[in-house]
Amino acid sequence: MSLSVKCPALMISAPSSGQGKTSVTAAIARYYSRQGLIVRCFKTGPDFIDPTILTQASGHPVLNLDTWIMGEEQCRTLLFNAALEADLILVEGVMGLFDGNPSSADLAELFGLPLLLVVDASAMAQTFAAIVHGLKTFRSTLFVTGVVANKVASAGHGALLVTGLPDNLPLAHFSKDSAISLPDRHLGLHLADEIHGLDDILNRWTDLVAGTWLAELPQAIEFKPSRSVVKSYPRLLSGKVIGVAKDRAFCFLYEENLLCLTEMGAKLVFFSPLNEAHLPEVDAVYLPGGYPELYAEQLSQNQSMKEDMKKHLSQGKGILAECGGMVWLMDALGTDDGKVFSMMGLLPGRALMQKKLAAIGSQQVLINGEVLRGHSFHYSTATIDASIVAQAETSSGHTGETVYQVESLVASYLHFYFPSNPAQVAQWLDPH
């Protein structure tokens, strides 16, 4: 195998969240995939929602890139493996270009990714050029290859935006059209399967790409393999069947978490707490986060699933629950409209939704002398009366989320990244 491989690539970033990064990334992905090219998309940072849209746009699984949670070499490996098969790599940034630690700019600099800037121009004219200039020149080690002016109202508006831009900086206009805008809510955009007519929207976006400089593949850049030996996952779950909750209420899943479980030897069986009456025959249950608050009444009425979960726990079988999955296991959930719904009753405590963000950011826990990393992002608060396994800390060293345990049930607001400590995850799922 050669020491490196070249592939056209772009990182799509912006001055802030809400500028249209996902829309532009999806538009480019769909444009080239419709031409028969293999497009591999990545999402910077811990995000479960945008990858579902990019997956539908590109037709391929979307992985996350976060050098703090995953490590630099893991990110390098994922990009290199994608470059071996792809005709184009697209990396959607997170928040604003320089926001966070690590930021999208840090990732672009580390892997030499050229930048495509997306700026919502709907409420500005000549100031557009000043914003672009600032982003382009703030860090000299970055290469900005072009700009998309999003939500442009008219040809006249587009002409004003050019004022002050460097002549050699390509500019593409995406028109303002509510009919092809993506809906959002408190945790971000809607999931792909919740957006009515998403394929039609994606196809209409390709018309915005056609005829612009984006319709030409970007320059190929070099991707190198990891500088360290890639570790294989221990076969700690061989022969185990793990039930993974997956529906509209429980949908926050890292693609790599599922891969980690299968490479440890587990067979995954997906089930829906919303739509199925019974838990399948499994050795362990993994409950990811999601939107239990949106389906609290329906979840509270699934008594047969509750009985199956109680029986599962009474048999000493493992349950690992994250964020929304943890909330479902509690005694009750209060929604932000003042209603209270009974939940599973397996984890003593109550959760309460609020309209403001309760926690966000990358965190890690130290378990048995080893680190397990992940992130927190939730709008609910909770009072829980259970044994504390560990106390997380944020990437900046502050106190983070708590990890709780009741018999063979382990739960936390943290969304764990399994590859950071697969042995600990296996121990939780198979506690015998």
Read off the pLDDT of residues 283-308 as tens digits, 9 standing for 90 and up. 999 999 999 999 999 999 999 999 99
Q: How confident is the model at residue 1 (pLDDT cuts 50, 70, 90)?
A: very low
The pLDDT tens digits of the residues spanning 384-407 come to: 999 999 999 998 889 999 999 999
Q: How confident is the model at residue 427 (pLDDT cuts 50, 70, 90)?
A: very high
Q: Any idea which of 34-38, 137-141, 167-171 has the lowest mean pLDDT?
A: 167-171
| Mean pLDDT, residues 315-341 | 96
Question: Contacts by 180-184 with C-beta closer than 8 Å and gap 24+?
Answer: 180/204, 180/205, 181/23, 182/22, 182/23, 182/53
**Which residue is associated with the tokens 């630690």?**
101
The pLDDT tens digits of the residues spanning 230-285 come to: 667 899 999 999 999 999 999 999 989 999 999 999 999 999 999 999 999 999 99
Annotated catalytic residue: which of 41, 251, 260, 323?
A: 323
Look over the chain and give the mean of its residue pLDDT values, rounded to a whole number. Answer: 91
Q: How confident is the model at residue 186 (pLDDT cuts 50, 70, 90)?
A: very low
pLDDT higher than threshold 50 for residue 178: no
pLDDT higher than threshold 80 for residue 179: no
pLDDT higher than threshold 80 for residue 183: no
> What is the reported pLDDT for 195?
59
**CATH class of the 5-223 domain in this structure:** alpha beta
Give the three-state DSSP class for 367.
Answer: strand
CB 298 within 8 A of CB 260: no
Percent with pLDDT over 70 in the chain? 94
> What is the reported pLDDT for 168?
87
CB 150 within 8 A of CB 118: yes
Is position 260 annotated as part of the catalytic site?
A: no
Whether pTM > 0.85 for this model: the answer is yes
325 membership: H or E segment, kind and range: helix 324-329
Higher pLDDT, 228 or 211: 211
> What is the reported pLDDT for 226?
86
Alpha-carbon distances, residue 323 vs 161, 224, 310, 413 (angstroms): 43, 36, 19, 4
For the beta carbon of residue 402, count every other beta carbon within 10 angstroms.
18
Superfamily of domain 241-429: Class I glutamine amidotransferase (GATase) domain (3.40.50.880)
Domain boundaries, the chain: 5-223, 241-429
